[in-house]
Amino acid sequence: MSEAAEAIMEEEMPAPERLHPLTMLTGLGGILKSLWGAIAASAFLLYSGNQTIAIAVIGFALLSGFIQPLLRYLSFSFLVEEDEIVMNSGILNRNHRSVPFDRVQDVNIEQNPIARVFGLARVKLETGASAGKGEEDGIIDSIALDRANELRDRIRRHRAAALPALPDRGEAMESEQARPAVFAMDARRVFLAGMFNFSLAVVGALFGLMQTLGDVANFNFFSRTFWQESFAPDNPLVIFILANQIMAVIAGLVSLVLVGLATGIIGTALREWNFRLDRTESGFRRRRGLLTLTDTVLPLKRVQAAIYLDGPVKRHYGWTSLKLQSLAQDSGNSGDHVVAPLARPDETKEILAAMDWRPLPEDAEDWHRPSPALAMEGLLSLLPLFIGGIVLLFFHWSGLLVIGAATLLSIGALLDWRWRRHRVDRDRVLIRSGWWQKRLVILPLAKIQSADLRRNFIDRWFGIASVRLGVAGGKGFSAHGVSGLATADAFRLRQRLLEGSV
Amino acid sequence: MTTDLAAPPPETDRPAVLRDPLQPHLPEGMHPVERSYAWVLRLRQMATWIPLFIGALVLDNFAFEGQPFRGLATAVVGIVGLAAIIFVPQRIYRRLGYLLGEKMLRIVRGWLFHVDTIVPFVRVQHIDVARGPLDKLLGTASLIVHTAGTHNSIVTLPGLSPERAGEMRDTIRATIKTDWQ
């Protein structure tokens, strides 16, 4: 079987190229690094009189340092064909990778100092595929520099031939005249955004800290001694607080809220100060920051999806926020680029218009809801918790807490089901979810990379399925998709989504 | 779009007795993979369970000497492992199928957790044909399709014959054209 395959491979690829033989030496840096450990170990061994083992350790380290590049040299070959490059690698696990030139976004040529001495270069073909987990797209490590340049020119020529009339891409920054900003936030708006960023997490953490350590450090807003010792004893407020424990509790709550507000406002002001979003030739340019100024260019071609997010308070006062999911990751911990931290819906409409995206449809029709079976499944999954709580109740009152928590979670499951919606709006799909923090994703169908239809065995009892969409960019663990559709609907939806994609 | 991508027909009644254990159970129009892949799966199950079984034996013979539950670990691991080796591979195999449409690749897999993936060819970034030691032993190969997505960016179709995998790679590759999204 395998012989036949090899034969076919041979036929297809008349003369695969190998890496440059000196590649085996480019690993020298790594070898030296690994040797330090071995030298230390063998010095210790020599000191304790184990000469043979010391020599063996050094020998083994040297050998393994050379063997790895040798094996790589022996097992790696690549072949440049008319419109693709084929790479064969691996010893036990043979891997044949073909990278079409049409998919190569960028060719990186890297040279570390040792490679420069030998005139070698490491070629990295970036395809935009996020192989993730440290696995790289297409790396040829290493070939002669001349060959690397040749390869890069070859790929560039191919791309130039395929794209006759692409305007020069270097215009990202300039040509931004005195056009008005698409969206900007003044100090008042930033302050307001900070209020909405009231951090429950900080409050929770502080409360927890006070309960555990507060009494020792005398930093507990809820204890009378804190108020007694921190302020003048004849302060009327303090006297009032001391008068009854209830007031101490209230004062504690007020202080916690103030701390939460302050952290929210300070954090937001540092980040969003002088927020300004401009439209440039190729996309958006975002400037913000108080101490650390950031200036981000966001080419529209890289935008994959737009995401509206609003919590209950923001929503109540008629505010919302808008993020763009892009191929590049935003700085900081959020993967998506925030283009409007706090905006009126009309302002976000303008941002969408600046991207040549249609506004959200006004009519409430045509939104589809998931099957009630999704809610049933959620409730069913909480059943063990209820049973556990009831059983626990026979032994201890804390069973009530478990039952209470299960009840809250059940209500959450129902509300979650209640607020899920999706709608195919011509060339894009809109997905709503969340009942506390509501989320609306606008995903152009052309940005869908792949579509999974998933059913586990419980889903199959209920006859439902979920559609998971592969979209580029964004945080690693927040896939877009629609859950809990009746199986036939899920198949239909997927077909509809992919029709737009092809 | 091919008609193959429509919803699968309702599950027809299968002959319960005397059926081929490797009789594919797939939506209409989907192709099963090489039969020898069931053995790849079986060997993989063995590679998981046999060391566990040996570990349990060692534990029972050395660590649990004289304990009342001595022998339990070996029995449990042995029975579960044997069941997994005997029953699981063909169930996974039966459910694994693919369809190379005109514009997209569809892969159906999973025994307890069904996953039905479609990758449009225009979205493919690059393609791997991979063969591990077990694959070489049993003459199979995996086709691995990479898309630009952050989620499900790597779609794997195992259990193809190496020739078929190469063919499919060439078919998909031929459709890849420049489109700058």
Residues in chain B: 181
Query: In this predicted model, what pLDDT tens digit does every residue of A69-122 receive, in sequence order?
Result: 788 888 888 888 888 888 888 887 788 888 888 777 767 777 777 778 888 888
Average pLDDT score over chain A: 79
Confidence check: pLDDT of B11 > 50: no
Return the pLDDT at A202: 72
Return the pLDDT at B81: 94
Name the pLDDT band for A209 (thresholds 50, 70, 90).
confident
Q: Where are the alpha helices (DSSP H) in A218-359?
A: 224-230, 236-243, 245-272, 312-316, 345-354
Q: Which of A6, A449, A485, A499 to mutate to test the interface with B (most CBs of B within 10 A)?
A: A449
Return the pLDDT at B9: 44
Query: In this predicted model, what pLDDT tens digit does every residue of A411-424 receive, in sequence order?
Result: 999 999 999 999 98
Residues in chain A: 502
Q: Above pLDDT 90, what percent of chain A?
A: 13
Two tokens, residue B166 = 């190469």
Q: How many CA atoms lie within 13 A of B50 on its CB side?
A: 8
User: What is the value of ipTM here, to two decimals?
Assistant: 0.73
Q: Which of B44, B119, B151, B180 to mutate to test the interface with A (most CBs of A within 10 A)?
A: B151
Fold of A373-501: PH-domain like (2.30.29)
Class for the domain spanning A2-162: mainly beta
Confidence check: pLDDT of A169 > 50: no
Query: In this predicted model, what pLDDT tens digit does every residue of B140-165 receive, in sequence order?
Result: 999 999 887 666 678 899 999 999 99
Confidence check: pLDDT of A68 > 90: no
Of A96, A102, A471, the CB nearest to B150: A471
Confidence check: pLDDT of A133 > 70: no
Query: In this predicted model, what pLDDT tens digit does every residue of B58-116 receive, in sequence order?
Result: 988 888 777 888 888 889 999 999 999 999 998 999 999 999 988 889 999 988 888 99
Q: What is the mean pLDDT of residues A381-393?
A: 92
Q: Please report residues of B whose CB lies closer than 8 A to that of A495.
A: 1, 5-6
- C-beta atoms of B176 and A102 within 8 A: yes
Please say whether the beta carbons of A454 and A468 come within 8 A: yes
Q: Give the range among A129-143, A146-160, A370-384 with minimum mean pLDDT.
A: A129-143
Query: In this predicted model, what pLDDT tens digit does every residue of A309-364 receive, in sequence order?
Result: 888 888 888 899 998 887 765 555 556 788 888 899 889 988 998 888 888 888 77
Q: What is the domain partition of chain A in residue ranges?
A: 2-162, 195-271, 373-501
Query: How many A-B residue pairs are in contact by the CB < 8 A criterion?
Result: 187
Average pLDDT score over chain B: 83
Peptide bond connecting A34 to the previous residue in cis, omega within 30 degrees of 0: no
Return the pLDDT at A166: 44
Burial of A352 (0-12, 13-18, 19+ CB in 10 A): middle
Measured at the CA of B108, the angle between CA B102 and CA B113, to 5 degrees, comes to: 155
Q: Cα–Cα distance between A464 and A375 in angstroms, integer?
A: 11
Q: In CATH terms, are A2-162 and A373-501 the same topology?
A: yes
Q: Give the range among A335-349, A431-445, A475-489 with minimum mean pLDDT.
A: A475-489
- The amino acid at residue A367 is W
Confidence check: pLDDT of A129 > 80: no
Q: Other C-beta atoms within 10 Å of A213: how many?
A: 11
Residue pointed to by tokens 């009494």: A215
User: Which of A431, A439, A404, A409 has its CA nearest to residue A497?
Assistant: A431
- The helix or strand, by DSSP H or E, that contains position A29, with its residue range, turns out to be helix A28-47
Q: Above pLDDT 70, what percent of chain A?
A: 80
CA distance B134 to chain A (A): 9
Name the pLDDT band for A132 (thresholds 50, 70, 90).
very low
Return the pLDDT at A199: 67
Q: Give the range among A437-441, A476-480, B147-151 with minimum mean pLDDT.
A: A476-480
Q: How many CA atoms lie within 13 A of B16 on its CB side?
A: 0
